[in-house]
A and B are shown apart, each in its own frame.
Chain A
Amino acid sequence: MYRTASGEEIFVIDGHTHFWDGSPANQKNVHGKQFIECFYAYHANLSPPEEKWTLEQFEKYDAQTMHDDLFVRGYDDMAILQSTYLTDFYNNGFNTVERNSALKKKHPERFILNGAFDPRDGNKGLEQLHADAEKYKLQGVKLYTAEWRGESKGYRLDDKDSYKFLEAAQKLGIKNIHVHKGPTIIPLNKDSFAVGDIDDVATSFQDLNFIVEHCGLPRLDDFCWIATQETNVYGGIAVALPFIHTRPAYFAHVMAELLFWIGPDKILYGSDYGIWTPKWLIDKFMAFEIPEELSKETGSVLTLETKKKILGLNAARLYDIDIEAQKKRIDAIGGYQHLAAAHAAE
């Protein structure tokens, strides 16, 4: 919960978090090592110095650290756990739904658990999706289209097989499809970050919501274009948000563009934990304003109302969270005790 200077409380749903194991013990090969080191480069490059972790801390953290970083030290009220398998890189997978579910079980009022599927897994994958949907009551999945599977280095959402999985998801009540584009989409000669396949499936599956993680970066321009055309395409601002510290002017431009093209109702906050932590991201976000000149040019203003939407209201709508009821649930297990103490001290 974030409390403004005037005492107004803002309910925060973190749209993108991970409980991963990227430690050397779990790394299967050089790709596993390079994968977590690439994440670490994002962390080290964009975090304020005092928020930097060591590589060892970063490779693997425990459940309590994550809980406290998000909900005690940070302002998150709830967080969405996004599952990523990467079984070609990690012995036990990187961030599987099984691993995430342990965390959800421990803190059911805090976490929304998303699954994952991979159309290349065929019928076995469809069966698994059915089982996972039932077992974990999935409302969403995270798709990493650049995941390696043996000889294959990725897939497209408009493949025939992807359609089968999206149809299955729709039937199973999974309505939020988080998509993360990566660098190895086949065929490799095409622009792997192109978002045209999202455009295609968003048109074909009107009842599903497509949340494009990292707002399509590095294709923000193309993403804005398709997101204005499709009513069911959303943008997650993980990765864009930490620029608020290192490059506030660029962040202002990105926000101005997103607000101009897709509007305040379709942008979702995400920390991308453990790449970044919510405390500093939200402190800076709440203090942030789009510079006047840019506001005048684009008509985009980051009002308190808009910030509330981005930080929680939009995700609450997608995941059917009744915020007042949820607050009571969290309060009932003592989830806000640290706030009471902090407020008393003020």
Chain B
Amino acid sequence: MAAAINDDRQAQIWARLQTVTDPELDEPVTDLKFVTAVEVDADNRVRIGFRLPTYWCAANFSFLMADDMRRAVLELPWVEAVEVTLGEHMYADKINAGLAQGLSFQETFGDEADGDLDEVRRTFLLKAFQRRQAALLAHLLDAGHRPEALVTLRFDDLTQLRFDEAGTTLLGRYLERRAVAAAADEPLAFVDADGDPLHAETLLTYVRALRRVDVNAEFNSALCRGLLHVRFDTETPITPRRTGLADQTSQLSA
């Protein structure tokens, strides 16, 4: 019984971690195999271990991901505390100490920073928005939608369009990030990074320009996955423990 509960709690944590993305790659930290350990103790305190593709990965992204993981897991009502620990990184000690004390990035890095991570977070959310929007627009253009129709398409009508399976995924991804650039009451389905309407005559060039963001992210993703693979064993799955293994888990945590 206890085993089943722990198993379920592990699964809930992994599900929350699935919502945390690497800001640069715009992919879940779980898919990227950054998360190495998830433990829950008898008092519902959670420990998460994570690793990165290189010792040198940028401090700001490393901190952001750790902080996002902590917040995401804390949203589970039963979780009492979350400890996130980064391994084998140039700033591991500093970041881990900062996280343990609940410090901000600025507080953690002192003179080496001149503010917190809001700006860099926004920059990369915008890139994710652009990348996801370009993918969806390219898909719609391919499907025969005309630029004139797309630039004036109402948000309410976007979700009413008929999508195939690939299109549905692209739509879902776009909707997750649309609010980064579009105001809450924005009636148009598509606006640019500044929240301004798009134009039919330049739509193809616009999508073409955003392709750079996409190519860049795909390239980085391939590089990061490869580097992680050389550095660590990424073949052995680290996933929510299934029944059977869970018995051991519960004994350990009991």
Contacts and interface: CB of A to CB of B under 8 A. Distances in A.
Interface of A: 31, 34-35, 37-38, 40-42, 44-46, 153, 182-184, 186-193, 217-221, 224-225, 240, 243, 246-247, 250, 253-254, 257, 261, 297-298
Given A182-B56, A189-B60, A189-B116, A42 B227 contact: yes
A31 B92 CA distance: 13
Interface of B: 24, 54-60, 90, 105-106, 109, 112-117, 119-120, 123-124, 127, 208, 211-213, 215-216, 218-220, 222-223, 226-227, 229-231
B106 A189 contact: yes
Contacts of A220: 212, 215-216, 219
A190 B220 contact: no
Given A38-B55, A45-B227, A187-B114, A192 B219 contact: no
Question: Interface majority SS on B: helix, strand, loop or mixed?
Answer: helix
A246 B226 CA distance: 10
Given A250-B215, A261-B212, A187 B115 contact: yes
A30 to B, nearest CB: 9
Nearest to B131: A221
Contacts of A254: 215, 219
A209 to B, nearest CB: 23
Nearest to B226: A45
A318 to B, nearest CB: 25
B11 to A, nearest CB: 32
Question: Interface majority SS on A: helix, strand, loop or mixed?
Answer: helix
A271 B72 CA distance: 42
B112 A153 contact: yes
Contacts of B112: 153, 186-188
A221 B212 CA distance: 5
A279 B60 CA distance: 38
A217 B212 contact: no
Nearest to B25: A218
Nearest to B53: A41
23 contacts: A40-B230, A41-B230, A41-B231, A182-B56, A184-B59, A184-B90, A187-B115, A188-B60, A188-B113, A189-B117, A190-B114, A191-B60, A191-B123, A217-B219, A218-B24, A220-B212, A220-B216, A221-B215, A243-B219, A246-B222, A257-B212, A257-B215, A298-B208
B118 to A, nearest CB: 9
B116 A218 contact: no
B59 A38 contact: no
Contacts of A240: 219
Contacts of A38: 54-56, 227
B218 A45 contact: no
Contacts of B116: 189
A193 B218 contact: no
B130 to A, nearest CB: 9
Contacts of B115: 187, 189
